[in-house]
Structure 1
Amino acid sequence: MRTIMIGGLLCCAATSAAGQTVYPLTAASRADPSVRHGTLKGPFEFHSRIFPGTVRRYWVYVPAGYSPARPPNLLVFQDGQRATNPDGSLRVQNALDNLISKKEIPPTLGLFVTPGNLSQRYPDNLGMSNPDHRVEEYDDLDDDYVRMLTDELMPEVAKRWRFSSDPRRRVIGGTSSGAIAAFTAAWHRPQAFGNVISFIGSYTSIGYRAATATTPLVPGGDLYPGMIRKSPIRPIRIFLQDGSADLDNEHGNWFLANQQMVKALQWANTNADKQGDKGPRYDVRYVWGTGGHSDDHGGQILPDVLRWIWRGQMPAKR
């Protein structure tokens, strides 16, 4: 086991017998019987008008002590079946339990959403596998997915549980294609999401479709670095993580793509400073590891990422 400090985050990595990097979960992501536990409600099924013919599942994490009179922060996380898997790499509900109970982050409502599946009912045999409409929802660069969240699903959730309307108190996150979906949501609607968590983000050409005689070209996520450099800065706080052994295939090189994202965000800030722009700046932090296309590293650092995202929102300790 080796312990390293990266950008203020403490990361513990080990090497398996096969020579692969392993990132074990920290205590902050393990179930702790001594803390107050929130409740994970669901799964519920939801049919979207924006994505007709699809069905998705979602879960709602209700923090301990929840009161509608004090709407909590909001965390939306893609691939909800894996994010809430009690034996998985993320175990987001455990991190929320521990951090909220210890007053390290504010009370936070969690909304964990699967991609849509082209069926009337969500298949019970999918388990942790991807539903069949994931690429069309997560890897496209249009605003359909965020409209589904903000105009359909979130109002449905709000009928039972209130949450903050302040974008600074909302974060959207995910891993792989779920990460680019999170960034796309905040890119289109920063007034809805002011914070992004991106683990092993697929800023590659998965969503690209070539033009035909009857259909236009559909761009892929590899265009984002150029779009960031040539577009007005959004008021977004974003955390990115990736590993040097991530995928390299016909869609692109994941590690290079994530580095390009960081460089573009940093350049946009520097250029705005040079131009004397009085507008917002990207608040960026990143951690690179040596792992592959896995949620392990993201799961290990998730508690620290949540502390960083919500920094300044807790009362000063006396």
Structure 2
Amino acid sequence: MRAILFTATLALASVGSAGAQPAADPRSAATPFRLEGPFELHSRVYPGTVRRYWVYVPPRYDRGKPPNLLLFQDGQRATNPTGSLRVPAVLDALIRDSTLPPTLGIFVTPGHRAAAYPTDLGMQNPDHRVEEYDSLSDDYARMTLDELLPAVARRWRFADDPRRRAIGGTSSGAIASWTVAWRHPEAFGNVLSFIGSYTSIGLRLGSDGAPVALGGDVYPGLIRKSPIRPIRVFFQDGSADLDNEHGNWFLANQQMVKALAWANAHADEQHRPGPRYDVRYQWTAGGHSDADGGALLPEALRWIWRDRPGAR
């Protein structure tokens, strides 16, 4: 277990209609922030796998006043101080500027089939990522809610209110985050989805050609035919994203937005009481990269918690 003080210079993002372009911001400053870890978690839901996670502890953390929670997938990339995301640095800058409420950050890698997490894996994807992130089952949510969050909560308290909790990621980490919130809106009410893989990566065919496991490309249909969940979600994707045997990423993300908008409109037409999806999206010109999502991250976080206590 390690407590690390990082010093990062962060340029917050300003966004134009053509895409995400980072720009200098007067609030940018070199400030130390506290990132604890890495810790290892051996999962009962996924026997034989191990994952790493780190915890960002906000300034003036007070157990008596549990902060908001942000859980981000692919933690090795999310915490990389030279990467595109640098999520702990973004959180720290926004919290110190009082534009974001105090927020505890958890950054978790996918599982790897090993007794201990490899020290030389670096930014590479662990080998159990597809099985965890691209599956539509409840397994990843159970690992998150029953194992990961309780492990963190033994040392750090955080909010129970789903409106004060966000879950996010990029690519397959984005669809994993959506699946957790979709299945458990009582646990997470906010989603950050960058270059989300709402495609058929998780599709598995039997010997007769019939599906034995579905992929994320079925989500637009599920959204249109299921009760509305109380979820606020920020989407980003780029027009140059992937187009391969699993699907077209840009079209898949647009289908998600269209399905959510249709579900809201249909509920309004039927005068149905209850929640509506709160959706914002930003289409950029980028490809399958963390770059545009990283540039948009400060704006996305401000939007997610724009009306929550402690934000301004």
TM-score (norm. length: structure 2): 0.92
Report the Cα distance in structure 2 between the residues aligned to 1:316 and 1:222, rounded to whole angstroms.
35
Partner of 2:10: none
In structure 1, C-alpha distance between the alignment counterparts of 2:301 and 2:164, rounded to whole Å: 11
Tell me the residue number matched to 2:264: 269
Partner of 1:11: 15
For 2:105, the aligned partner's letter is G
Q: Would you say the 8 A contact 1:78–1:112 is kept in 2?
A: yes
In the aligned structure 2, how far is the partner of 1:236 from the partner of 1:70? 24
SS at match of 1:49: coil
1:1-318 to structure 2, matched below 5 A, reads 10-11=14-15, 25-27=22-24, 32-33=29-30, 35=31, 37-212=32-207, 217-314=212-309
TM-score by length of 1: 0.90
Unaligned runs of 5+ in 1: 1-8, 15-20
Residue-by-residue CA offset, 1:37-78 (whole Å, 9 max, x unaligned): 431001111100000000000000000100100000000000
Aligned with 2:204: secondary structure?
Answer: coil
Residue aligned with 1:267, SS: helix
CA distance in 2: counterparts of 1:279 and 1:42, whole angstroms: 41
Question: 2:3 aligns to what?
Answer: none
Q: Is the 8 A contact 1:246 1:255 kept in 2?
A: yes
Conservation of the 8 A alpha-carbon contact between 1:28 and 1:99: no
Is the CA contact (8 Å cut-off) linking 1:200 and 1:243 kept in structure 2? yes
Contact 2:14–2:22, Cα closer than 8 Å, also in 1: no
1-structure distance, mates of 2:40, 2:24: 32
Structure ranking higher in strand proportion: 2
Equivalent residues, number: 300
The 1:219–1:190 alpha-carbon spacing in structure 2 relative to 1, beyond 3 Å, is same
Match of 2:6 in 1: none
Change (3 A) 1:144 1:200: same
SS at match of 1:38: strand
* Alpha-carbon distance in 2 for matches of 1:29, 1:180: 34
5+ unaligned residues in a row in structure 2: which ranges?
1-12
Secondary structure, counterpart of 2:233 in structure 1: strand
Query: CA separation in 2, counterparts of 1:265 and 1:247?
Result: 22
Provide the alpha-carbon RMSD of the alignment: 2.1
Deviation at residue 227 of structure 1 after TM alignment = 0.4
Identity of aligned residues (%): 66
